[in-house]
Structure 1
Amino acid sequence: MKIKIEICAGSVESVLAAKKGGADRIELCSALGLGGLTPSQSLMEYAINKAGIETFVLIRPRNGDFHYTRAEYEIMKSDIYTARACGAAGIVTGMLNTDGTADTCRMKELIEMARPMKITFHRAFDVCKDPFTALEDIIGLGCERILTSGQAMDALSGSGLLAALVELAGSRIIIMPGSGINASNLRQLHQQTKAMEYHLSASKLKPSRMHFRNNSVSMGLPGEDEYSIRETDPALVAEICRIARSLND
């Protein structure tokens, strides 16, 4: 097995940067500042049909917790149909019950609808009550991988739990660390966890091309700079992929 790098891409420019840098796969989303939300159909179509990189689509109808209403659940099902129709290789999703356990009942229905696409259970895992019980529940659902920081603010801080999950999972499911991963810590994280897939944005702030700027009006969250955009950088992707290749040797 070779180490794979998945890039979380929240814009068309980030998709193109991930491909240019040599990423193995993208998780396509929008609103990265909110933890990622379901992207538009047009962005799905562009990434899958024009960019030509393996694409997993995030299915998350809103920010916040991962217990969804009936209406939100219907939206998720519709978005899965859209992703499959667009030719996505997989989806990234997750649902919890109010007691912090994995919502295996509704997840099972989503997974059946999504096939033959592959399934990543996302970082809802990081706020579940018992990670080891959740691991077995998610394996039972037939998911191919779990994206997790090891229930910590970043993957390096959660490396102890990540290592335990990788060992317990064995060949039954892929444990893919994500959150705070970059070229400076990938080697250490790999040494500590032995994981074979890693998830990161490889992004940096890029200044707006606008010459005229009205700094008295904000369209987003308080304190956000309207005239800088966080996007994946192809050089950062290429660097992390080079390190991953060296770890394969």
Structure 2
Amino acid sequence: MSKRAVLEVIALDAEDAIAAQAGGADRLELVTDMAADGLTPAVATVAEIRGAVDISLRVMLRLSGGFGAGDVSRVVRAAGEMRDTGAEEFVLGFLHTDGEVDLRAVERVVGALDGCRWTFHRAIDHAADRDALRKQLADLPGLDTYLTAGSAAGVDEGLPVLLAEASRAGDPGYEPQLLVGGGLRLDHVPRLRAAGIDAFHIGGAARPEGWGVPVSAEAVAEWRRALDLG
């Protein structure tokens, strides 16, 4: 039996976090403003969530929609504020308009994280060259995860890419864990698990009634059961 799969759930507030943990989530991604696909939450929100649950938290470092870094000094400042409030894990990823990774911006922000673990998020699904991006980031400290659907259009379209990348696990640039998310459904799980993928990320799937209502512990538990069945 393969090892227990990681289940990461998007949380907007402490109520979400408590429900996600109750349902069996292993980790939370903390964001605000899902209309912009998730931006950096308020420091007070992160502190409240940290006080409400004891599972791992990854805090989004993204100040505006799109994948441009914007004012990198503001992102660095936000990272420092989050670290001061106790955050130890992060989510980030910046591209130039041509789809090339903005290596200078990523390096500056990662420098401010001082060795903290972090996820490169779905910017990889919008990259001009996924393989080149992975190799450019391969030596950055703390990078242990890629959040990806395999395609900007979601897991349905990206499945062949996800399976191909899973088969390269351990190759240069492919050491970080694949965390699959973005249009992910329960019926995708068996094929992904069979390919050795062991980390899954849900947002809307944890809220069957939509983003206007909190995370459903029951919905998270359904995912937990499906992942544990493998």
**TM-score in terms of structure 1 length:** 0.83
- Once the two structures are superposed, residues 64-92 of structure 1 have per-residue CA deviations (whole angstroms, 9 ceiling, x without a partner) of x21233xx212211111122112223110
Aligned partner of 2:207 in structure 1 is 203
- Once the two structures are superposed, residues 197-226 of structure 1 have per-residue CA deviations (whole angstroms, 9 ceiling, x without a partner) of 1111211226xxxxxxxxxxxxxxxxxxxx
Q: Extract unaligned runs of 5+ from structure 2.
A: none
Q: Extract unaligned runs of 5+ from structure 1.
A: 207-227
Aligned partner of 1:167 in structure 2 is 167
Distance 1:33 1:100, change over 3 A: same
Based on CA coordinates, which of the two structures has the bigger radius of gyration? 1
Secondary structure of the corresponding residue to residue 9 of structure 2: strand
- Number of aligned residues: 222
Q: 1:177 aligned to 2:180? A: yes
Partners of 2:185 and 2:35 lie apart in 1 by 18
Aligned partner of 2:89 in structure 1 is 90
Secondary structure of the corresponding residue to residue 68 of structure 1: coil
Shift of 1:106: 2.0
CA contact (8 A) 2:57 2:89 kept: yes
Residue 11 (structure 2) aligned to one of 9, 12, 19 = 9
- Once the two structures are superposed, residues 28-65 of structure 1 have per-residue CA deviations (whole angstroms, 9 ceiling, x without a partner) of 001123211111111100111232221000011011x2
Q: 1:146 aligned to 2:146? A: yes
Aligned partner of 1:27 in structure 2 is 29
Q: 1:187 aligned to 2:190? A: yes
> Amino acid of the residue matched to residue 67 of structure 1?
G
CA contact (8 A) 2:126 2:152 kept: no
Aligned partner of 2:221 in structure 1 is 238
Root mean square deviation of aligned Cα: 1.8
Aligned partner of 1:47 in structure 2 is 49
Shift of 1:184: 3.5
Partners of 2:222 and 2:197 lie apart in 1 by 19
Identity %: 25
Aligned partner of 1:108 in structure 2 is 107
> Amino acid of the residue matched to residue 50 of structure 1?
A
> Amino acid of the residue matched to residue 145 of structure 1?
T
> Amino acid of the residue matched to residue 105 of structure 1?
R
Shift of 1:137: 1.6
CA contact (8 A) 1:7 1:26 kept: yes
Shift of 1:115: 2.5
Partners of 1:245 and 1:140 lie apart in 2 by 32
